[in-house]
């Protein structure tokens, strides 16, 4: 399948109607998702005939893109039931029920309900929350909020789950830190592209942040790195 064709299919993935700000729910656009997954397949052969895990699956955009490029199977995790419901309806729309399974689990915690000693996916795909302030500032109800550095929590799970490689998005402004972490975790890191990502514009001092974003909220563009991590222990696979 050609890149344009993939992107065109993905335009049928339905977006959040009421995205939850505190979970940093913003959809990976068809444009970005198509480029991410197409690159992972054509440059690195990491999608077709591979088992995948999608952390923070959201609308299902990345997983659906992967299945359109013939991934074997995807396990998708998300903590939010509304997102999982939307994802399920998107999966149904694409008739991919047999290829994607969903699990509700909270990735903001330090453990995943998965046997990490055994099952590993070949490839982990994710568009993690970026830990963008002001969500990350502590409040009385921390459990409801994303944490500062949440993308590093996701990356830490991903490296335990992926047998071979991880595809992820991280804010370009945090690149030095990510390089350092990748080194600590013995992963090869390649920034494949710098992309523009539109996220809802936030009011900095709103007292109640547990509010949702309407799909027509004003957007601001931030720079994100599209990164491929490779697990070094398995480089010879």
Partner 1 sequence: MKLITHNMLTSNILKGVTKGFPLKIKADKVDNVSVDYNRDFITRIIPRIEYDALRAAVNDLGLNESLPETMPEAVQQDDEFLKTMHKVLLEYEVEEGELICPETGRKFPISKGIPNMLLQETEVS
Residue range at the interface with partner 1 (CB under 8 A); choices 60-68, 111-119, 173-181, 207-215: 111-119
* Nearest in space to 52 (alpha carbons), one of 125, 155, 156: 125
Residue tagged 């790195």 (tokens): 225
Give min distance, CB of 66 to partner 1, in A.
14
φ and ψ at residue 20, rounded to 5 degrees: -90, 120
How many whole angstroms separate alpha carbon 189 and alpha carbon 184?
A: 12
Please pick, from the candidates 119, 193, 194, 214, the single residue that binds partner 1 as defined by CB under 8 A. Answer: 119
Write out the binding residues for partner 1, residues 46-65 only, by CB under 8 A: 49, 51
CA–CA distance from 127 to each of 2, 15, 58 (Å)?
Answer: 22, 15, 9
Please pick, from the candidates 9, 15, 44, 79, the single residue that binds partner 1 as defined by CB under 8 A. Answer: 79
Residue range at the interface with partner 1 (CB under 8 A); choices 5-13, 84-92, 173-181, 187-195: 84-92
How many whole angstroms separate alpha carbon 215 and alpha carbon 150?
A: 24
HEC string of 39-88 equals HHHHCCCCCCCCEEEEECCCCCHHHHHHHHCCCCEEEEEECCHHHHHHHH
Please pick, from the candidates 84, 96, 169, 187, the single residue that binds partner 1 as defined by CB under 8 A. Answer: 84
The yes or no reply on residue 196 touching partner 1 (CB under 8 A) is no
CA–CA distance from 171 to each of 129, 153, 154, 160 (Å)?
Answer: 10, 15, 14, 22
The yes or no reply on residue 98 touching partner 1 (CB under 8 A) is yes
The yes or no reply on residue 234 touching partner 1 (CB under 8 A) is no
Please pick, from the candidates 73, 159, 171, 177, the single residue that binds partner 1 as defined by CB under 8 A. Answer: 73
Cα dihedral 71→89→152→138 (10° resolution): 180
Q: Which residues of 41-73 are buried (b: 16+ CB within 10 A; e: fewer)?
A: beebebbeebebbbbbbbbbbbbbbbbbbebeb
The yes or no reply on residue 101 touching partner 1 (CB under 8 A) is yes
Write out the binding residues for partner 1, residues 138-157 only, by CB under 8 A: 143
Nearer to partner 1 by C-beta: 88 or 174? 88
Name the DSSP class of 229. E
Please pick, from the candidates 75, 135, 157, 197, the single residue that binds partner 1 as defined by CB under 8 A. Answer: 75
Nearer to partner 1 by C-beta: 1 or 116? 116
Residue range at the interface with partner 1 (CB under 8 A); choices 4-12, 94-102, 191-199, 215-223: 94-102
Kindly list the residues in this chain that would bind partner 1 in the complex (CB under 8 A).
49, 51, 72-73, 75, 79, 81, 84-85, 88, 97-98, 101-106, 109, 111-115, 118-120, 143
């Amino acid at each position: 399948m050609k890149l344009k064709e993939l992107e065109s299919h993905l335009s049928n993935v339905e977006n959040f109607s009421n995205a939850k700000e505190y979970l940093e729910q913003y959809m990976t656009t068809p444009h970005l998702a198509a480029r991410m997954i197409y690159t992972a397949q054509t440059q690195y052969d990491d999608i077709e005939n591979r088992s995948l895990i999608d952390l923070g699956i959201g609308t299902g955009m990345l997983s659906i893109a992967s299945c359109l490029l013939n991934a074997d199977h995807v396990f998708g995790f998300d903590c939010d039931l509304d997102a999982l419901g939307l994802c399920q309806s998107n999966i149904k729309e694409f008739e991919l029920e047999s290829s994607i399974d969903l699990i509700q689990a909270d990735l903001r915690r330090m453990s995943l309900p998965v046997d990490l000693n055994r099952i590993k996916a070949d490839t982990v795909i994710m568009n993690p929350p970026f830990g963008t302030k002001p969500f990350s500032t502590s409040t009385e109800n921390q459990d409801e909020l994303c944490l500062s550095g949440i993308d590093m929590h996701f990356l830490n799970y991903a490296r335990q789950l992926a047998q071979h490689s991880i595809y992820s998005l991280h804010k370009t402004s945090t690149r030095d830190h990510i390089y350092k972490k990748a080194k600590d975790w013995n992963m090869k890191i390649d920034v494949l592209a710098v992309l523009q990502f539109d996220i809802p514009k936030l009011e900095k001092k709103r007292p109640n942040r547990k509010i949702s974003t309407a799909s027509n909220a004003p957007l601001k563009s931030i720079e994100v790195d599209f990164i491929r991590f490779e697990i070094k222990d398995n480089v010879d696979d």
